[in-house]
Amino acid sequence: MSPNVVGISAHYHDAACCVLRAGRLVAAAQEERFTRRKHDPAIPRRAFRYCLEEAGLTLPQVDCVAYYENPLLKAERQSWMSQRRAGPGLAGPDADRPLRDIRRVLGIEGSIEIVRHHQSHAAGAYFFSGFEDAAILTVDGVGEWETMTFAHGRGAEIRQLAAVNFPHSIGLLYSTITAFLGFEVNDGEYKVMGLAPYGRPRYVDQLWDLVGRHDGPNFELRLEYFGFLDGDTMYAPALAELLGHSPRSPESELTPFAEDLARSLQIVLNELLLAKVRWLHEQTGAEALCLSGGVALNCVANHRIRAEGPFFRVFVQPAASDAGGALGAAALAHVRLTGERPATEPLDHVFLGPAYSVDGIARLLAAGPARYRDFRGDEARLITDVAARLEGGQVIGWFHGRMEFGPRALGGRSILGDPRRDDMRDRINALVKKREAFRPFAPAVLEAVAAEHFDLPGPSPFMLETFPVRSPLALPAITHVDGSARVQTVHPRQNPRFARLLDAFGRRTGCPLLLNTSFNLRGEPIVCTPLDAMLCFIRSDIDTLVLEDFVIERAGLPASWVEWWHETAPDSFQAVSNVVYTFL
């Protein structure tokens, strides 16, 4: 009998839980969505409860819990770091905490499998790729000690070929420049990626000076430029001397220097990763590549790897950061228990979180004074109504079906707009998302016509790669300054209602794509529940909220609700602190 396996990632950032039943992924969610604490690292008790309910399991029916890293090895590195900073005698880290929390907080009495951090990343990519033979590259800040691993997956076996260990790390190189540019480490790296196309590659040579040996599978940092080992910032004073500029203060104006440094960093990252995948191809001879780890969320580098690398097929784990480690840990535990790999079909969607019943939403709305329209039993009329609002220039909060797993909103918890409008990007950035104006938005497009608008080789369902825009339409709201877009292709099999909305908008306007961004305000997780969506709607300038079969206009909100928010809202966002990467 196939086991029921729970995967857990926790105690660093992006804590998450998943369930495999008979080797098939049936549920996965991040704890932040339930607690409303962005990147919540706590043991995922709420996500665990949801996953069991979704899988129809009780605690005694859980055969095994898999934890995504080795606590003893992690504590070893943390102790080494602590002694460097404070000297001997400092109390060591609590290596027993992960297993203690799994037993005491989650109530698990049975088997617990420990999987090393980069093994979890590798397995989370390979076993959900659908490939039977693939090279695997994992790149992040740091796991226990490893920061980059090279592996080969065949059947149920993953064989590691080489590794780079802390403190040498491509991920920490990127995070150091992220901090130098005034963005928050472990969160702002995607901002640096979005800023890069605005600049010129003026600092490429200086950034290569930060790197020592990087041939083959090797990678070294010249540590005199980095402060994360001993200091309170990621960078050492020598970095400012090398670049000829002081670090940018958080939330201050972005200068041409910042743009140029971001562009230079992206070029160096691209070249480093291309060199690594080429070496990995030489070692494995595989035709397919799997990517995971936080660095695999860099969509620009992913495109370069696909376009210029030696592999015919590339799969990027949709939840490539630590959240996806829960999937890999569960998959490897399944292999250990059965001797067989999990289900071999590729992961083609990530709608793995909770859904909420139409009747429950009806009761929620009926209990309050907001006015709404009820389209129960008439989806066609609902789709027509929403498509007309989008054509008229409205910004729509779209809440439907199961919540997405991973960092991208893919039509379950999305904010939507007309990509043809010149003002749409600035309006959503300034009035809805409350975020930096330079950051681009992504398009969602029907898979069947995606090649008419973007230079892409096939489906891109997870919004993990940039492609050149070649549409005959003017699409200013989703076209980045370099002429690219981070594309999500939509197939009716994966999300039928969202596909029907795209089709309806296309029939009305000749444009079968929409601006699609995550349904959240700056600094908050993507919404999970109908109540989360209502609160975000009230606090933003979204024009209309679609909660399953119900449509609520901003004019239908009680004035007292809107006044309450404007009275209690902060005047500005707190500037992020330029702190060291959270090793300890």
| Catalytic positions | 13
Residues 177 and 210: beta-carbon distance below 8 Å = no
Could you give the 3-state DSSP secondary structure of residue 416? strand
Provide the edge-to-edge strand list for the sheet that holds 4-9.
24-30, 16-21, 4-9, 64-67, 111-114
Which DSSP category does 576 fall into? P
CA-to-CA dists, residue 138 to 104, 124, 167, 186, 248, angstroms: 32, 10, 16, 17, 30
| Token pair recorded at residue 205 | 């040579």
Region of 45 on the Ramachandran plot (φ > 0 left; ψ -120 to 50 alpha; else beta): alpha
- The string of DSSP letters for 173-207 reads HHHHHHHHTTPPTTTSHHHHHHHGGGS--TTHHHH
Long-range contacts made by residues 423-431, C-beta under 8 angstroms, separation at least 24? 424/393, 424/395, 424/476, 424/477, 424/515, 425/476, 425/477, 425/478, 425/515, 427/395, 427/541, 428/395, 428/515, 428/517, 431/540, 431/541
Helix (H, G, I), strand (E, B) or coil at 14: coil
How many DSSP H helices and E strands does the chain contain? Answer: 18, 20
In DSSP terms, 114 is beta-bridged to: 67
Beta strands at 288-292 and 133-139: parallel, antiparallel or unpaired: parallel
The closest alpha carbon to 159, from 170, 147, 149, 171, belongs to: 149
